[in-house]
Amino acid sequence: MINSTHTPVLMAEVVSVLEPKPGYSYVDATFGAGGYSKALLEAKDCFVWGIDRDPIARSIGSEMEKNYPNRFRFLTGCFGGMRKLLADYSVFQVDGIVLDLGLSSLQIDDPRRGFSFKKDGPLDMRMGVSQVSALDIVNNMPEADLADLIFCYGEERYSRRVARAITNLRKKKPITRTLQLANIVREAVRAKTGGIDPATRTFQALRIYVNEELVELSDALTNSELLLKPGGRLAVVSFHSLEDRCVKRFLFERSGLQGKPSRHSPNLVFEGVPETFSLKRRRPIKPSIKEIRKNPRARSARLRWAERNSQLPEIG
């Protein structure tokens, strides 16, 4: 069995927000190593649906089905398609949904997956099995498009410099390894004392693009609106500003609290929509100092949540 003892970020806070109750059903739409699912199942005698496209997550999900018979079911697929996945089992409403938008430890800690800029591995970054890989993008995308991608999805101010360095090197030989790409970026972008690794934003941009993460997020948010019963709760944990702005904008607009959108926000439009959520807290919940010390990856995590009301949503 694959080791799945990883504790997800803000786990206690997510369980507290969802407030599981006996007989209620919940969706862990980004199952990963199953940490949230297990916490919900241990908290109350409820039912949990786990969803993930990662083949390794499926193995963990199968084990959890054995450990929690008649209380847990794993479904293979993308979190943006959760409504259709559940409909196949005649499930049309649930009491709570959690989305964890970060990479799971199964992905980041395995160099063979190609997500980490700290460990050498094949340049891949695919969460599933059918998408174009990061290797394809890095070696084939035109320089101008690559620069735009890194700027848009990585918020990298030196994106054109990075794209130029990549295209100059790939003319000589293919870029096939994670450390090879990371070192190219590090040479193009000077590291700041105490700052993040210069490769962080470029790797983030490629991962988001390869896995269509913002499209999945947009679909998952609207799916959640349609799936949640009145009183049901949506909890979303994000790890970078791009995702967090998307989640914040969606929840604020669906709660009638729409503000002026940032000029840097992705082009996700939710205009003229009914107020289907009640936002219980405007500011995100952040991890404690204790949690950050135990798990440094938690430092950028932000939890936003809202409760579904009885207002009917728009059905596109």
Confidence of residue 5 (pLDDT cuts 50, 70, 90): low
Q: Tell me, what's the pLDDT at 108?
A: 80
Q: Establish how many alpha carbons lie within 13 A of residue 279's alpha carbon, considering only the half-sphere containing its beta carbon.
A: 21
pLDDT score, position 271: 56
**Residue 293, number of CB atoms within 10 A of its CB:** 11
Chain segment 249-261, per-residue pLDDT in tens: 999 999 998 654 5
Query: Does the pLDDT of residue 266 top 70, yes or no?
Result: no
Q: Kindly indicate the confidence band of residue 265, based on its pLDDT and cuts at 50, 70 and 90.
A: low
The pair of three-digit structure tokens given for residue 169, joined into one six-digit string:
């090197």
> Is the distance from CB of 224 to CB of 216 less than 8 angstroms?
no
141 conformational bin, left if phi > 0, alpha if psi -120 to 50, beta if neither:
beta
Whether 77 has a pLDDT exceeding 70, the answer reads yes
User: Residue 203: is its pLDDT beyond 90?
Assistant: yes
pLDDT surpasses 70 at 96: yes
Sheet strands (E) in 22-130: 25-28, 47-52, 72-76, 94-100
Highest mean pLDDT among 88-97, 101-110, 293-302: 88-97
- Asked if 146 and 161 count as a contact pair (C-beta separation under 8 A), the reply is no
- Which pLDDT value is given to residue 313? 86
**Predicted confidence (pLDDT) per residue in 14-42, tens digit:** 999 999 999 999 999 999 999 999 999 99
Q: Which amino acid is at 28?
A: D
Give the pLDDT mean for 138-153. 98
Q: Which residues contact 233 (CB under 8 A, 6 or more apart)?
A: 17, 18, 19, 95, 96, 97, 305, 306, 307, 308
pLDDT surpasses 60 at 1: no
When pLDDT is averaged across residues 130-145 and rounded to a whole number, the result is: 93
68 against 272, higher pLDDT: 68
Distant-in-sequence contacts of 70-77, Cβ < 8 A, 24+ apart? 71/41, 71/45, 71/46, 71/47, 72/37, 72/41, 72/47, 72/48, 73/47, 73/48, 73/49, 74/31, 74/49, 74/50, 75/49, 75/50, 75/51, 76/51, 76/52, 77/51, 77/52, 77/53
CA distances (Å), origin 48, targets 25, 42, 97, 100, 286: 6, 11, 10, 15, 25
Which CATH code, of 3.40.47.10, 3.30.200.20, 3.10.400.10, 3.40.50.150, is assigned to 11-106+213-308? 3.40.50.150
Count CB neighbours of 260 within 10 A: 5
Query: Which residues face 234 on adjacent strands?
Result: 97, 306
Spatial separation of the C-alpha atoms in residues 170 and 140, rounded to whole Å: 9
Q: Which of 50-54, 119-123, 264-268, 290-294 has the lowest mean pLDDT?
A: 264-268
Per domain, the residue ranges of the chain are 11-106+213-308, 132-210
Superfamily of chain region 132-210? Putative methyltransferase TM0872, insert domain (1.10.150.170)
pTM of the model: 0.89
Residues 6+ apart with CB under 8 A from 143: 163, 164, 166, 167
Cα–Cα distance, 4 to 38 (Å, whole number) = 10
At 111-128, the pLDDT tens digits run 889 899 999 999 999 988
Give the type of residue at 236. Answer: V
